[in-house]
Structure 1
Amino acid sequence: MKRRDVLVVGGLVALVYGLRALPWDRLVGSGPEFVEITELPPFRRLAVQGQSSGAGAALLGIDRASDDADARRTRAAAVRAEMCLALFGAEIEPGVVPIAYFSEFRCPYCRALEKDLDRLLAERPGAFRIVQHELPIFGPPSVLAARASVAAARQGMQQELRQRFMRTPLVADEVSVYRVASSIGIDTNRLARDIGSPDVQEELDTSRALADVLGFVGTPGLVIGRTVLNGAIPYALLRRIADDEKARPAPMC
């Protein structure tokens, strides 16, 4: 990575943490405001937007060459019909709030938000469960890293690989990806097979379709129980929303 790029990324990260250090818990007033998503019950959206990184409205990069608008609409309709399953997986454990997390490895706001999610899980053990959705929006390097992340999950190593990628300024090519994967004990031969598999493509397609339905045009995106959050928000507000969801029954959809 060029020195200029390092300085730009470093500046963005510093800005993110500077803004998040403000006393947001006192600035948000008596409580967060929500807007019901009438076309997608029982979900609601935080009335204010968080901080996000975007690459235009198209979210380019994870569609196959044969993809078209009709296929994209078909996938969106499919996930809309089974939102909880597509977002959170096969079952929602009693007493555990599921959190669907949409991220991009080159997004500085995602790096900041992940620290807050780790803090939330540490402060409330067993209360929440993160479900990872990769949403690469910054071109081929991001797509490759996202594919590797999804493929690593087949070996139970997704979070280890993601954490290593997050600490790497730039994962630009296959050599770099496989070097990082090998350094943490991932079977790179299996990883290479899985990266190009239909199952990995299907998972990325599902995450993309969910982003379309939820209106995520950048990263990060969160769905905490029934609450949709577009962009990173201060930890105090994140915690208040998470606690509110913990006090409610699991979303039924």
Structure 2
Amino acid sequence: MVYWTICVERMHPDAERACYPTLRAGSGRNTRDRLVTVRRRDLVVFGGIVALIYGLRALPWDRLAGRGPRYVFLADLPPFRRLESGGQTSGATLALFGLDPASGDADVRRARADAMRADPCPALFGAGGAQDLVPIAYFSEFRCPYCRALERDLDTLIAEYPASFRLVQHELPIFGPPSELAARASIAAARQGKQQELRRRFMRTPLVAEEASVLRVAADIGLDVDRLTRDMASPEVQTDLDRTRALADVFGFVGTPGLVIGRTVLNGAIPYALLRRIAEDETSMAVPVC
């Protein structure tokens, strides 16, 4: 109710009557002073509610309940496992953007996934990474609201445990051409060592839908724009996207965000306390994962 009142105050052309119907025209300064006091009190209450929600979200609920996360091993994907329950995802469906891959494309995707299923680790965690660190494979989409929250949590986790984890980025564009354009730019920027910088710029601003806008952002952070343009259209970037889609099919990701923390597969955003506990569980196990 408080939130609705605040929204109406901001948007309604006759805000005082809409939010406080007892106020009458010409009812005097005292009534208006009381109105201001009520508004301030509502804002304080609203702020307290928001703080409470975020405070509760940060509590270690799994530990307070006296047990840790429960895992289910994936019989067809050893040594991987998943949580008994998932998180919140942004999914790509026909209702969202009307894409229905042709049967030939579906057959190709299925063949890629089948070929990768026997040994997904090289594509999932990359080659040449530090073998004494727990790898975190992160599947994201630039227009996914849950991804933004999860990325902040991942930054916090890695800052808290800098000698324990390494992040492997996977771009999984599921919301049509604008998302794929941004994903291609991100993958191409990695070749110039500025993938995360470009990604953070995209995350802070509305997703650009045209190549010219993407290239302006790239120029702003010092990327070689001509090289970026060539790389975005290269077969290697297409191969990277195809490989990520195949991995998503193998691990059953129906939306974003997707995570594979060591052996643990997660599809969706989860509270930071749970993310941290899963990560701690993984650090207690042997590395490399596979």
Normalising by structure 1, what TM-score? 0.86
Q: SS in structure 1 opposite 2:207?
A: coil
Q: 1:115 to 1:57 in 2, by over 3 A?
A: same
User: What is the rounded CA distance, in whole Å, between the counterparts of 1:178 and 1:26 in structure 2?
Assistant: 44
1:67 Cα deviation (Å)? Answer: 5.7
Distance in 2 between the 1:143 and 1:18 partners? Answer: 37
Give the one of 8, 25, 39 matched to 2:60: 25
Which residue is equivalent to 1:120? 157
Q: Deviation per CA, 1:81-127: give whole Å up to 9, x if none.
A: 22110100114523300000000001110000000000001111121
Give the drift of 1:251: 5.0
2:36 is matched with none
Instruction: Name the SS of the counterpart of 1:239 in structure 2.
Output: helix
AA paired with 1:49?
G
Q: Could you tell me how far apart the structure 1 residues matched to 2:103 and 2:218 are? A: 30
Query: Does 2:201 correspond to 1:167?
Result: no
Give the letter for the 2:56 counterpart: L
Gaps of 5+ in 1: 1-15
| Root mean square deviation of aligned Cα | 2.6
Give the deviation of 1:134 after TM superposition.
Answer: 0.3
Contact 1:62/1:143, CA 8 A, preserved across alignment: no
Aligned partner of residue 82 in structure 1, secondary structure: coil
User: Alignment length, in residue pairs?
Assistant: 238
Of Structure 1 and Structure 2, the greater helix share is in 2
Give the corresponding residue for 1:39. Answer: 76
Structure 1 residues 119-152: Cα deviation after superposition (integer angstroms, max 9, x where no partner)? 0011111210000000011111101000100011
Q: Which moved more, 1:214-223 or 1:78-87?
A: 78-87
SS in 2 for 1:22: helix
Is 1:222 the equivalent of 2:222? no
TM-score by length of 2: 0.76
Q: In structure 1, how many angstroms separate the alpha carbons of the residues matched to 2:289 and 2:98?
A: 32
Deviations 1:18-64 (A, max 9, x none): 86542452267311111110000000001111111112289989999
SS for the counterpart of 2:270 is: coil
User: Which residue of structure 2 aligns with residue 55 of structure 1?
Assistant: 92
Judged with a 3 Å threshold, the aligned counterparts in structure 2 of structure 1 residues 218 and 58 are, in CA distance, closer, same or farther, namely farther
Larger radius of gyration: 2
- Is residue 202 from structure 1 mapped to residue 236 from structure 2 by the alignment? no
Shift in Å, 1:183 = 0.2
Greater RCO, CA 8 A, separation 6+: 1
**Equivalent residue, structure 1, for 2:14:** none
Q: Secondary structure at the match of 2:148?
A: helix
Distance (whole Å) between structure 2 residues aligned to residue 161 and residue 229 of structure 1: 25
Change in 2 beyond 3 A, CA 1:191/1:62: farther
Q: How does 1:178-193 map to 2 (within 5 A)?
A: 178-193=215-230
Whether 2:147 is the aligned partner of 1:110: answer: yes
CA contact (8 A) 1:61 1:137 kept: no
Q: Deviations over 1:175-195 (max 9, x none)?
A: 110000000000110111011
Gaps of 5+ in 2: 1-49
Query: What stretches of structure 1 move > 3 A for 4+ residues in a row?
Result: 16-21, 57-67
Aligned to 2:249: 212
1:250 corresponds in structure 2 to: 287
Does the 8 Å CA contact 2:140/2:147 hold for their aligned counterparts?
yes
Partner of 1:7: none
Q: Matched residues in 2 for 1:201 and 1:117: separation?
A: 26
